[in-house]
Amino acid sequence: MKMPKDKIQIWIDELRSGKWEQTRGKLQRDDRFCCFGVGCKLFVPRNKQNTTFDDSLSGFNPADQEFSPKWLLRINDDFANRTGPSLINLNDEGHWTYRGQSLGRFTFDEIADLLQAVYIEEVL
């Protein structure tokens, strides 16, 4: 599946915007989001978002949001196939090693940089 550059660019811009606080392990925890929580807030229609009693996104990945666009459902695996680690692991655990050392959990800016390199500039 070809990934939509225009949508990915919007996601990248939002990750870099500073408007979102990062969390791990869930799409949303209080007022913080994982990288996919930001994606779901942007691309799942508000009236179709699966939420908890306090209006937080429910779930752990886009598959837990019934109306996630197909590209958002597939980008985690596509990214892992191209680079090695998945976006979920980079957001939550930092499972990417370089010269034997774990690089740790990635920030939204770092995830945005990787999305830019892989899907916009197509250099990775």
Cα–Cα distance measured from residue 38 to residue 124, given in angstroms and rounded to the nearest whole number: 23
If you ran DSSP here, which 8-state letter would residue 117 be given?
I
Weakest-pLDDT range from 26-40, 52-66, 85-99: 85-99
Percent of the chain with pLDDT over 90: 79
> Quick check: 42 pLDDT over 70?
yes
Strand partners, 97: 102
Per the prediction, the chain carries an average pLDDT of 92
**Whole-structure pTM value:** 0.91
Query: 21: closest CA among 33, 10, 37, 38?
Result: 33
Helix axes 108-115, 5-16, angle to 10 degrees: 160
Supply the pLDDT for residue 97: 61
Burial 105-115 (b: 16+ CB within 10 A, else e): bbebebbbebb
Per-residue model confidence as pLDDT tens digits over 3-25: 999 999 999 999 999 999 999 99
